Amino acid sequence: MLRSKNNKVMRILVSRVKWPTFTFAANEGASHRFPFPGFRIGLFERAHDEGADGCAGALGAVAQAVVEGFRDIDGGSDGHDMIMARMTSLGPGRRLRRSGRRYDRCLELEMARVLDGAAIAAQIKQEVAEEVRLLGAQGIRPGLAAVLVGHVPASEIYVRSKVQTCADLGIYSDLITPPDTVTTEEMFDLVTSLNDRDDVDGILIQLPLPAQVDTKRLLDAVLPAKDVDGFHPINAGRLMAGRPALEPCTPAGVIEILKRSGIPIAGQHAVVVGRSDIVGKPAAMLLLHQNATVTICHSKTRDLGAITRQADILVAAIGRAGFITEEMVKPGATVIDVGMNRITDRTEFDQLFAGNAKREAAFLKRGSVVVGDVHPKAFEVAGAYTPVPGGVGPLTIAMLMANTVRAAKMRRGL
């Protein structure tokens, strides 16, 4: 049996053995079968291993042991779900001994852990619902005004989902839908009226806005106390200065994923690829406030891979499908994929998902799939990662809800 850090028992069945990565299907409990790729197990040499030959021999022994024996394996695990195996105890059908200590020669079988954003978002929403209930007992109902201009299909889906989540959590919401011919002045008047409304604690202006509207001027017009997206320069400045602020939802969600997954941040080298005002910069600042050593990269960064390979925590917020490849990831790193890119091109699909039956079926059905900024192969190298979809995405709405309740409380001095 393999026991992970939280003592869950996983029965490992070999489905395919591939050099140098083994792919396993795992059962947790008696009957629940997990599909790939969450339980990919990579083998890495430790720094003090004695050369490639020894390692190759040991890898072969592990493969033999698992393939021939399908035997239970006892593994000690450290904080990263690593299974330490003593080389000398390896052999066909032999048991690997539980061990927490370093051996002169050893292997680490590392399971890339999937960081389940949907589950974490559900937990946060439950907490928010409880806060809304408590505020309700004091006669306070947090309210969110969502402004959706025109008919951008993706924006319509996002806003609908935000409004629905408000309803689910007991938050009041008002959906305002100006036509796509709206002017900056009309939008300015709308924002001013929302600033003045007492039943509105948070104002969300769904981006992008039509070209004729001055987006920056409008975002600056939102009262900082109601700026639940955290885009106002006052909130950006407060964040920078380490003062209480409404934080941008997606970066705040990244921090929640790391914290709630028990991934250490303090002292870690966090590399953020992307420096936008809504993701990259605030993510870097939040990581810095959590005492990470932070490097920010962008399109002018020289030898990007050399920097990303140093990352203990790698945040990809680039907007380019599968841009971060496996050579750019340090084995065992935590990879947070913020990217959301819809691909429709068959060649691009094949480069990313060749052989992935589930994605293939989705692509054929819908003519597109959503993919992050990290290449699926790169996740195999990681120690933990957020999938796309189902990673960072769900956190963005959860944090918007949390910000709305926070704004409601802050406005009332609670």
Q: Which residues bind ligand NDP (CB under 6 A)?
A: 250, 273-276, 278-280, 297-301, 304, 317-320, 338-341, 373, 392-393, 396
Residue 195 CB neighbour total at 10 angstroms: 15
User: What values do phi and psi take at 368, rounded to 5?
Assistant: -160, 160
Helix 249-260 with 393-411: angle, nearest 10 deg: 110
Q: Which is nearer to ligand NDP, 143 or 274 (CB)?
A: 274
Supply the minimum distance, in Å, between the C-beta of residue 319 and ligand NDP: 4
Closest of 336, 328, 364, 338 to residue 248, by C-alpha: 338
Query: What SS3 class is residue 26?
Result: strand
Q: How far is the CB of 394 from ligand NDP (least distance, A)?
A: 8
**229 tagged catalytic:** yes
Q: Among 201, 206, 268, 290, which one carries the catalytic annotation? A: 206
The secondary structure element, H or E, covering residue 289 is helix 280-289
Residues 395, 256: contact at Cβ < 8 Å?
yes
The distance of closest approach from Cβ of residue 262 to ligand NDP in the complex, given in angstroms and rounded to an integer, is: 22
Q: How far apart are CA 204 and CA 183, in angstroms?
A: 18
- How far apart are CB 348 and ligand NDP at their closest, in Å? 14
Nearer to ligand NDP, 63 or 397 (CB): 397
Choice between 235 and 341, CB closer to ligand NDP: 341
| Residue 146: closest CA among 250, 249, 228, 236 | 228
Nearest residue to the partner ligand NDP, using Cβ = 276
Q: Give whichever of 243 and 300 is closer to ligand NDP, judged by the CB atom.
A: 300
Closer residue to ligand NDP (CB): 300 or 365: 300
The C-alpha R_g of the chain, in whole angstroms, comes to 24
Catalytic residue chosen out of the listed positions 116, 227, 229, 373: 229
Whether 162 sits among the annotated catalytic residues: the reply is: yes
Enter the tokens of residue 52: 């490639």
Q: Which is nearer to ligand NDP, 75 or 393 (CB)?
A: 393
- E-assigned strands of 31-171? 32-34, 40-45, 76-77, 82-86, 106-111, 113-114, 143-147
Task: Tell me: cis bond preceding 264? Omega within 30 of 0 counts.
Answer: no
Catalytic residue among 162, 226, 281, 330: 162
Cα 173-176-182 angle, rounded to 5 deg: 160
Q: Minimal distance in Å, beta carbon 75 to ligand NDP?
A: 34
Which residue is associated with the tokens 């250490």? 264
Would you call 174 a catalytic residue per the annotation?
no
Residue 43 C-beta: closest distance to ligand NDP, Å: 30
Kindly list the catalytic residues: 162, 206, 229
